[in-house]
Amino acid sequence: MKGKYPRMAAPKRTTRVNRKRPASKFSRRADEAESKVCARFHHAVELIGRRWTGAIISVLMTGPTGFNEMLTAVPGLSDRLLTERLRELKAEGLVRRTVLPGPPVRVSYELTEAGKGLKPVIDCLGRWADQWVKAN
| pLDDT the model gives residue 38 | 86
pLDDT by residue (tens digit) across 43-62?
A: 999 999 999 999 999 999 99
| pLDDT the model gives residue 20 | 58
The mean pLDDT value for 3-14 works out to 56
Report if residue 99 sits inside a domain.
Answer: yes
CATH of the domain at 126: 1.10.10.10
Report if residue 95 sits inside a domain.
Answer: yes
**Residue bearing the bigger pLDDT, 118 or 34:** 118
Report if residue 120 sits inside a domain.
Answer: yes
Report if residue 10 sits inside a domain.
Answer: no
pLDDT by residue (tens digit) across 63-103?
A: 999 999 999 999 999 999 999 999 999 999 999 999 999 89
pTM of full prediction above 0.75? no
Question: What percent of the chain shows pLDDT beyond 70?
Answer: 73
Residue 107 has pLDDT above 80, yes or no: yes
Report if residue 87 sits inside a domain.
Answer: yes
Domain limits at 79?
Answer: 52-132
As a whole number, the mean pLDDT across the chain is 85
Report if residue 35 sits inside a domain.
Answer: no
State whether residue 58 is helix, strand or coil.
helix
Report if residue 84 sits inside a domain.
Answer: yes
**Residue bearing the bigger pLDDT, 42 or 23:** 42
Sheet bearing 106-111, strands edge to edge = 65-66, 106-111, 95-100
- Domain count of the chain? 1
CA distances from 64 to 42, 78, 96 (A): 28, 20, 9
Report if residue 15 sits inside a domain.
Answer: no
CB contact set of 64 (below 8 Å; sequence gap of 6+):
98, 108, 109, 110
